[in-house]
Structure 1
């Protein structure tokens, strides 16, 4: 009978020790929600449309070098190329993000660079 009591006591102590280990451990995983992104091509199209609407002129030829990540304050520089080959820098700055919607401001430089010869 002493063997049965020792086995039972050992089992109870083992269960308590395992329970204490499980209760004493915790884990947390933080997964950062991915930020929305606007492709460089789509950004160029939207910038061209905004500039055309603002100036009342046809959509200019715009090229953007990179995707725009939807984080307030992120910026990128696009390039407007005129019919005569001159270029104008255009700054794009994220002003707000609402879910997957990226809102941004567009500002063209004051002076253009002449066409390359």
Structure 2
């Protein structure tokens, strides 16, 4: 392995770190339904324009979104359909994880009421 080669697990970790910001995730969710101009992203996310610009730059540099200029408007879109599938997979995984937590919480609540019974 030469000095510039990164192990796959490290590349994956970097990819997930790039996704590890709530604004970036929200942008990707919004773009899942199709391209949007920056003004629509700002209206939906309601953060400072400079913050959104910074997060969009990270997504653009990673190649996960692309930007095109239409006169004075910059429009963003997902660079590929795999990103939308990744978001759907994350939703499925979280649903299972949270359901498991709900089950555990119900068990804890049940065991607490059993201990309090005379």
Q: TM-score, normalised by structure 1?
A: 0.22
Structure (1/2) with the larger strand percentage: 1
Structure (1/2) with the larger helix percentage: 2
Q: TM-score, normalised by structure 2?
A: 0.22
Larger radius of gyration: 1
